[in-house]
Amino acid sequence: MEKPLATTQRLPKYLAYLKIRQKQGIESISTSRIAEDLNMAAISVRKDLARISNAGRPKTGYPMDALIADLERFLGYGNARDAFLVGAGRLGQALMGYAQFAEYGLSILAGFDIDPALIGSEIDGKPILPLEKLPGLARRMQVKVGILTVPEDAAQETFALMVESGIRAVWNFTAIPLSAPPGVVLQNENLAASFAVLSKRLAATFDEEGVSGEVPCGTFAPPNEKREGGHQS
């Protein structure tokens, strides 16, 4: 009786879109309009929203404010989530300064690092602290969300430290596939892997168009035509 995961992934999209519309002063909106603008199937939007809100009214659609409120409540915003970031390198600093997060109820309170050159500095008013202060502060401030942006070789042990410190949800930006102990929510955000998907999609587009011209034939990889027919007994 758990809700479909796929839906949960679409909801933030609706929310981002609705906030833009709200700024434009629009006060109510129909699922068909959302679907059109977001380039999605109307029935899909209708079902998703029916699931998390009952503010919809025939003929007029959803009141903007109520829909946004329901969406945020369902997604667990409102009680803004405080997070600690570990690994204040370039990516870490970029995330600490990412204004967008505030709109979604995420607030990075501080960054942690072991580099003395970074410790003591601030990003957007948020301090970078020595890593050894993480356990104490996380417990004292009841911070449950952690963002992991350390170098690969430190990923595993840093993750362990975060879990020991009472952090219950980790957003992992390293390429290391960590596995979460029971009770800990882990989300891997492998940017390089995401790019791979894009790359694959672009290649597929060329294939469809028959622009296959020069095949991406590697150096040695054999033709490798799977089940190329032949005859079988």
Partner DNA sequence: TAGATTGTTAATCGATTAACAATC
Interacting residue ranges for DNA, rule: CB under 7 A? 4-7, 30-32, 41, 43-44, 46-47, 49-50, 53-62, 226-227
Other beta carbons within 10 angstroms of residue 70's beta carbon come to 17
> Which of its own copies, DNA, none does 158 bind, CB closer than 5 to 8 A by kind?
none
Nearer to DNA, 35 or 119 (CB): 35
Nearer to its own copies, 61 or 92 (CB): 92
| 173/92 Cα distance (integer angstroms) | 9
Task: Quote the CA–CA distance of 71 and 22 in Å, as a whole number.
Answer: 14
Identity of the amino acid at 220: F
Partner from its own copies, DNA, none contacting 136, C-beta within 5 to 8 A by type: none
- Residue of 140, 120, 145 lying closest to 130 (CA atoms): 120
- Closest contact distance (angstroms) between CB of 48 and DNA is 8
**Which of its own copies, DNA, none does residue 7 bind to, with CB < 5 to 8 Å depending on kind?**
DNA
Query: HSE on the CB side for 34, CA within 13 Å?
Result: 31
| Residue number, 41 or 203, with CB nearest to DNA | 41
69 binds its own copies (CB under 8 A): yes
Q: Which does 87 bind (CB under 5 to 8 A by kind): its own copies, DNA, none?
A: none
Q: What is the DSSP string of 88-156?
A: -SHHHHHHHT-THHHHTTEEEEEEEES-TTTTT-EETTEEEEEGGGHHHHHHHHT--EEEE---HHHHH
Residue-by-residue DSSP string for 121-138: -EETTEEEEEGGGHHHHH
The residue type found at 155 is A
Q: Name which of its own copies, DNA, none residue 137 binds, using a CB cut-off of 5 to 8 Å depending on partner kind.
A: none
Interface mask toward its own copies for 75-114; x: CB under 8 A? xxxxx-x--------xx-xxx-xx-xx-xxxx--------
CB of 31 to DNA, least distance (A): 4
* 56-64, 133-141, 157-165, 191-199 -> range binding its own copies (CB under 8 A): 191-199
**By CB under 8 A, residue 220 contacts its own copies:** yes
Single residue of 142, 179, 232, 233 touching its own copies by CB under 8 A: 179
Give Dmax (Cα) for the chain.
73
Instruction: Answer yes or no whether residue 20 interacts with its own copies by CB under 8 A.
Output: yes
Nearer to its own copies, 121 or 205 (CB): 205
